[in-house]
Structure formats: structure tokens, C-alpha cells
Chains A and B, each alone.
Chain A
Amino acid sequence: MDLLEYQGKELFARHGLRVSSGKAVTDVDAAVAAAGEVGYPVVVKAQVLIGGRGKAGGVKLAADEAEVREHAQSILGMDIKGHTVHTVWIEHASDIASEYYASILLDRAAKKPLVMFSVEGGVDIEEVAERTPEKLIRRHVDPLAGLSREQAVQIARDGGADADVVEGVADALVALYDVWLSEDATLTEINPLIVTPDREVRALDAKVSLDGNALYRHPENQSLSDSANEDPLERRAKEEGVQYVKLDGDIGILGNGAGLVMSTLDVVAQAGGRPANFLDAGGGSNADTIRGAVELILANDAVKAVLFNIFGGITRGDEVAEGLIAAFGQLDERGKSTPFVVRLDGTNDVEGRRLLAEAALPNVYSAATMNEAAEKVVALASGRAAGAGVSA
């Protein structure tokens, strides 16, 4: 779960990391009021979960009320790489002597937290890592011991922090690790971590990803997801506890098991189709689960045809077929007029396919293999006939 900059800064502040005073607002008048509170000059920053805000015109300096009004007006509602700006963060503008970079992330290969620090902040850190890797310090931390102050001081020194701010950078790193650890984050990143002319070290930006599996330990963080910017269907799926990701094609996909569904998307793409979503129905085979999933898939107006790819394991193919038949009986007009291709394989697959054939559901086509199912659904989505094996 990725947090917006201002949400990340609120977490930082809670753990003693210095941030500039600011306020998140959603309309122009509130932006003007906030600017008056934090004091001019201010920076108006678009709150979206995508990089490159500055280049897109989503970050502007304002010296007075007229400029705040103008910038807030243009940034609110702006589209930045497909993300609509619903919130701006109004922050007192900082004087900057240096721009550093700091982050803590979960290094999956080393299976340890990784601290990264550089005095070349304020730019794309992947470029720094590529062009001048010696300027990006990377140090693993023993997760059972945590980041010690001594190690943090060493990282700041090795990274080339100015001597008079080594202590300040170390404080920031220790606080950043504290955020990472105690909030169950998988990433905490500050770019830039600034040094002000009066030698204060402060986070000018915040990028935080929290572990969704650990939210039960952090009820106060549960409301932090970017509900205004989140896709409404993904939000609905989350509320219903369904694993759903919206994609930009026109073929709805449902399967059981995350790996099989990912694979189904690939096979449909190889057959020339464009998947409209990822949906893992898990082990659920009853009519309610399937009807809920179908409703979610069809709530996306772009969907022209749907592929069900079920490999029965512990779940039996005949049970799945019964669930499907019951669910189809309860579909609305749109559902009934949308072609479905059902591929049933695995435990009791023959029996399952027989039940489906006997039910003779209009617009439901059966397939025995993944590849055949993908070809059929691609043909149906493009308005062509599905070819042989049609059950109705």
C-alpha cells in the first residue's frame, strides 16, 4: 500500500523525523488559507502516487496569495500520467543548501533491510546508481539488531555527508529505520533529504509503502490508502476481499490461484487479446463467490467477453460447474448477453464440463485447454464466432 507524500510526512513526523510544516487541502480556498497559516513563500505540491510530478507541472512555488490561487487552480484536477490530482500539499518553502537521498527497503535477495544514502539527492536515484554507483552507499542491516546509531553515523560519513551534518543525517536515518520497522513498511524513501543553510536536516519528500498483510497491527494506518485516486473497482474489490487488478483491455479474466491467473493474462495476450483485469477467485467455488466476481468483472464497461480459467485441485470441477450454473442464473441482462468461455480442467473436469453442456447456458462456451480457451475468448471479444465446441 503506497502512501501519498503528505501521509508519509505525517508518519515521519510521528517518529521524530523533521519535515516542513504544511497542510493537505482539496480546494483552492483551503489552499489559500493553508498558505496563510504556514507562511509565504509556499510550495504547492500535487499529491499523486506517481513520480515526475515536478516535470509535469505539479509542483509550483508561490510567493503570494494570487500565485497560490493560480497554482492550486491549475494543479487540482490535473492529470499526471493517468493520476488525477484531488489533493495538494501546501508547505512553507525551504531554503536549500544541499540535497541528499536516503531510503530503507526490504532487500528480497539478501533477506535483510537495506539502507541507501547518497549526497546526490534531488534527482532520479536509479540514474545515480547507474552513472555513479560509488556515490550511492548501500548497507544491509541485521533485522534482529536494528540500525544502530554507530552504523548510521558510519553510513553518513561513508556517503560523504558534510561533516557538520553527519549527526543530523544519522538522526534522520535512525528515525527513517524506526518508521520502516514500527509501521511495517516495505519502503521508506526521502528524496531529497535537504540540508538548510542553517544546517538543519529535513525530509522534503516522502515515499512510503506499507505492508498490507500487517495492517491488522496498525488500525490507524488502515484509512491511509489513496481512496480518491484509487480505481473504484479496485477499491470495491478490496472491500469485498477479492484479489482484483484493473487492466486496460476488454477481456475479463477469472481464475483460481494467482500464478494461474497471471499466466492466463499472458496466454490471452499471446492470442492477440487484451485482458481487462486480474481476478483470483481463490478456492471459492460456490455460486455467491462466483456471482460476486462476475459482477465485479462486468462493472468494467470495457469488458466484451469473459474467460474463466479453472484448474480444479482440492476444489472439484463439478462443484465449480454447479457454482457457475447457479451464478449465471442470477446474472442481469448485461451479464447474460456477454459471452463467457469456461475452461475447466483438473479434478472431476469431465463431469464439470458435462454439467455445463447439459445446462445449455446461452453465451457460455466450453474449452478443454488454456490455449484453446484464450483463442475462443479473443475471437468472441472481437465479434467473431468462437468456432467449434460451442455449447449453445
Chain B
Amino acid sequence: MSVLVDESTRLCVAGVTGREGSFHTLNNRRYGTNVVGGVTPGKGGQDVEGIPVFDSWEQAAAEVQPNTAMIFVPPRFAADSILEAAAAGVELVIAITEGIPAHDELRVYNTLQRDFPGTRLIGPNCPGILSPGKANVGIIPASFFKPGNVGVVSRSGTLTYQIGNEIARAGFGCSSIVGIGGDPVPGSSFVDVLELFEADEETELVVLSGEIGGSAEEEAAEHIAEHMSKPVVAYIAGFTAPAGKQMGHAGAIVSGSSGTAAAKAEALEAKGVRVGRTPTEAASIAVEVLGGASVGSA
């Protein structure tokens, strides 16, 4: 098994006719993901290398029944596109777009909670989700990862590849890699994804990669202590980040004395989660913990 995306994924992409959107959509299809359509208002009836394009999510839902949406449209159109996909009944929306205003993210999150509780949002400002050997939705370079039993959940893209690659070089594979994104109001939190990995039979260990800003790692620590039977290994970036400075990601900012990397690492360690001081150390702790288990190179 795996979480969120697999062979049953039917993907439809908002922004499929754009340069980035088409590049990554075709990459995802080449990997084996079942791409059933795209949405670009005003371009309905066209196709992108055989992928039919629709004017609206409503039309796409009626014609090709997507169960997964990927959002690649510019920031100013992204919030409405996410909500239209949800209104059309799509259960999983993965928003890659970076730079969406925080107030739009608040509106989207709270509207989904109130009107479309059946839709799960991953991102925005995330690299997507990869279930090795099954499906890739987003921009994660699939070549580093093979199928296996490590679940990865992260706020950062390249850091995920860094840690995942080190685990792969040690001979281990991944069940799924889930990027939850670097924005202040993500649609899904560490806790949401940890719940999925706990329930996934294939996942034996979870690597959590966090960073400065907010309190998602602290909430994850509480959740792990209460609800996780599987081992979790963590890495936190941003120990040297000065307060009040946004470090690339909109959500990566230490506000006053809250949201520091040290506080997050302490919160996790206080609940028995081992935290690597470098990405390499986090990967080697994961490998060490997995050492005794049967390793998936299936």
C-alpha cells in the first residue's frame, strides 16, 4: 500500500496548458500516473499530448471523473481553482502553486472545512506526492526513490530529496513521500499525514522533516506520543535562522520567541522522537531503526 496517490489515482491538472504545468503533468504521466484531463478556462476542447482540456472543474468531473486534482495555476487564480475542484467533488487536491496570499489560504482552508469536508488539500507551495512504483503527482524527482516501507512527510522539497536519497542509497525504499508545503496555512498538517502512515500497512517508519515557523512540529510531537505505534525519525531545519526573517518559505519565520528550530527539536525529543542534527544523521537514524526490520526493495 501507500498513501493518497497510487494506481487508482485519476489525475486532472489545473494549469495543464502552462509551461510548468504541462512539463510536470507529462512527467507524471510518463511515470505511470493515470492523467485523465486538464482544466484551463477558455481552452476547453484542446488537448496536451492527448490529455483532454476542459473549461471548468465541473465539466472535467462530468467527462473524466478525476479523483485527484493538481493545481499549477498562478497564485491569484489558485484559491478559486482549489475550491472549484472541491465543489466538483474531487477528493484530493494537491496545490503546487507558490505565493498564494495567506488570507486566500485561510479562506480556502475554512471553506473546505465547512462546505467540502470530503476534500483533502495537500499544499499549497508543496512538491506534491510520490508513491514509488505507483503514481507521482507533482514535481518530486521520482528517480531517487524506489518502493519500500519508509513514509516521508516534509515541509520542504529539496530537503526531502536529500534525506530520501540518503535512505535510498542505504538500500531502503519509500511507501509514499508527501510534501505538505512551506506556507503558513497548509491544507494538511504533519498530524493529518502521520495518521495516514499509521494506518498504512506498508509503512514501517516515518521520517518527518520540519522547519522553523508555526507549531506544526510541536503538534506532531503530541500526536506521535498519543497515537503512533510506528517509529518516527525527525529532522528540523533552521537552527541558525534569525528571528523575524522569512527564510525563503512564506511560513518559515521565527516570530519573537516562538517557532524556533530548537523548541521544535526539544518538543519532539521530549516525546521520544529521535531528531537528526543533519539530514545525513536523520537518514542514518532511520536506517539504523529499520536495520532489524525486513526492508522493502520490492
Contacts and interface: CB of A to CB of B under 8 A. Distances in A.
Interface of A: 2, 106, 108-109, 111-113, 126, 142-144, 181, 184, 186, 211-214, 216-217, 243, 245, 247, 255-263, 265-270, 275, 278, 280, 311-314, 345-347, 369-371
Contact of B240 (A109, A257, A265): A265
A370 B240 contact: no
B19 interface: no
A106 B106 contact: yes
Given A143-B110, A258-B248, A314-B141, A109 B214 contact: yes
B101 A184 contact: yes
Given A184-B101, A259-B155, A270-B277, 10 more contacts: A109-B214, A109-B215, A111-B106, A144-B107, A211-B103, A213-B250, A258-B182, A278-B248, A346-B165, A347-B141
B207 interface: no
Q: Which 9 A-B pairs have the closest CB atoms?
A: A259-B156, A258-B248, A257-B158, A259-B159, A214-B101, A260-B158, A313-B141, A262-B237, A108-B214
Interface in B232-291: 235, 237-242, 244-252, 256-257, 261, 277-280
A211 B240 CA distance: 24
B151 interface: no
Contact of B185 (A111, A212, A214, A312): A111
A213 B247 contact: no
A268 B146 CA distance: 30
B102 A213 contact: yes
Nearest to A269: B240
B248 A261 contact: yes
A262 B158 contact: no
| Interface size class of chain B, counting residues whose CB lies under 8 Å from the partner chain | 35 or more
A179 to B, nearest CB: 12
B76 A216 contact: yes
Contacts of B162: 260, 263, 311, 345, 370
Interface of B: 24, 27, 75-76, 99-104, 106-107, 109-111, 114, 139-141, 143-144, 154-162, 165, 182, 184-185, 209, 211-216, 219, 235, 237-242, 244-252, 256-257, 261, 277-280
Given A108-B215, A259-B157, A213 B75 contact: yes
Contact of A112 (B106, B250, B261): B106
A260 B158 CA distance: 6
B159 A260 contact: yes
A257 B216 CA distance: 20
Contacts of B261: 266
Nearest to A143: B106
Contacts of A247: 240, 242
Contacts of A109: 214-216, 219
A278 B247 contact: yes
A386 B185 CA distance: 43
Nearest to B238: A262
Q: Is the interface of A mostly helix, strand, loop or mixed?
A: mixed
A346 B278 contact: no
8 contacts: A113-B106, A217-B101, A247-B240, A257-B248, A259-B248, A269-B239, A311-B162, A347-B143
Contacts of B139: 313-314
Given A106-B106, A186-B184, A347-B143, A211 B156 contact: no
Contacts of A314: 24, 27, 139, 141
A258 B219 contact: no
B102 A266 contact: no
A214 B165 CA distance: 35
B248 A311 contact: no
Contacts of A259: 154-160, 182, 209, 211, 237, 248-249, 252
A275 B114 CA distance: 45
Contacts of A255: 158
Contacts of B114: 144
Contacts of B143: 347
A369 B238 contact: no
Nearest to A249: B240
B245 to A, nearest CB: 5
Given A144-B114, A181-B103, A217-B101, A258 B161 contact: no
Contact of B245 (A108, A245, A260): A245
A211 B114 CA distance: 25
Contacts of B140: 313
A266 B238 contact: yes
Contacts of A257: 156-159, 248
Contact of A184 (B99, B102, B158): B102
A262 B184 contact: no
Contacts of B154: 259
B185 A258 contact: no
A278 to B, nearest CB: 6
Given A143-B110, A144-B111, A265-B241, A258 B249 contact: yes
Contact of B161 (A261, A269, A313, A370): A313
Contacts of A268: 240
A243 B248 contact: yes
Contact of B247 (A216, A256, A262, A371): A262
B158 A313 contact: yes
